[in-house]
Amino acid sequence: MRVLTVNPGSSSLKVSLLDADDTVLARDSGPSRETGPMAAGMPHPDAIGVRFVHGGTDFTTPVRIDAKVAERLHELADLAPLHQPASLRALQEVTSALPDVPVVACFDTAFHATLPPAAATYALPAGWRERYGLRRYGFHGLSFSYATRRAGEMLGAAPSRMVICHLGAGASLCAVADGRSIDTTMGFTPLEGLVMASRAGSIDPGIPLWLIRHGVPPDEVNRALERESGLRGLAGTGDMRRIRELAEERDVTALAALDVYHHRLRACAAAMTASLGGLDTLVFTGGIGEHDPSVRMRLAEDLAYLGVSIDPGRNTSVDGDGDLTSGGAPVRTLVITAREDLEIAAGVRRALNSG
């Protein structure tokens, strides 16, 4: 089965056409607002898989899209305003261009369906939780699922206690115990957790309430938290490469932004290890996780007390998947290239073959 995978992210759109053996036949990428290239010049697929960030409690496995499913996906859009609308636009385009090809939705929230109640439950009134579905869903599940499988291949067996760091424009961590998600840093929406490119991450919930009571319109508060906060709010840019350049020039604002970024990253990573009861393997993936050796080294140094130690030479020279572990370190540290396209294609085949 030849599968076209469509992966709209918060800052990019990635499209791949995979053969039955997962060979990449064609690939394209560009800014998230540009959906035009997705079918141009590519061979005709047998099926299409579209990444959707939020599946709510409705969708915990890949599902073939029909009118009823599409309607529910639209209803979930306000829970992931940077992502879900882009996925819906991509869905509209591929169904218009390829109306006879089955389309399957694959969900980032699905990997976290195994979260235990203690990790998934907010301490909110029961009526709210039941009426509005207020709970922690978690995101980046397609990336975490692939990284979990790939780590097992690289190490010869699935690690018992693994923290995966998906670090990019959007960023989150996942505690994986024996292949299952048991804790993660994102929650009801992709706003919670780490400092990201333009998203604030976790803040005192009293802050937006205070701003609204003092006259800031709710839509403006939402837009600021989603698009004008995070590294952009701290340093004027959400581009980690540019912040790194400014920091090397001893720019005070950039240095302070990195301190805030790493303070949250260190604290959240330690929290994930607490949920696991220890740490066997640390994994970096995503644009920053794969390509920024300084971020990897700083977190490794911050977690040295847990047994994390990486080889400086391996850290700076790694290209693609690699093992960065220093000799004798009890915790293995890996870099794994994000391959959400493989996870989407696998989900498409499961959904259509089971139907």
- Residue 98 in contact with residue 48, Cβ under 8 Å? yes
The three-state secondary structure class of 9 is coil
Catalytic residue among 22, 58, 108, 251: 108
Residue labelled with tokens 């992931």: 80
Residue labelled with tokens 């960030």: 53
Beta strands in the chain (DSSP E): 3-8, 13-18, 24-30, 47-52, 63-64, 103-107, 161-167, 171-177, 180-184, 281-285, 322-323, 332-335
What are the φ and ψ backbone dihedral angles of 210, each rounded to 5 degrees? -60, -45
Q: Is 108 a catalytic residue?
A: yes
* CA distances from residue 63 to 107, 155, 247 in whole angstroms, order as listed: 9, 31, 45
Residues in the chain: 355
d(CA 164, CA 158): 13
User: Residue 345: which of 80, 16, 10 has the closest Cα?
Assistant: 16
d(CA 9, CA 170): 8
Return the H-helix or E-strand segment holding 315: helix 312-317
Other C-beta atoms lying within 10 Å of the C-beta of residue 239 = 15
List active site positions: 108
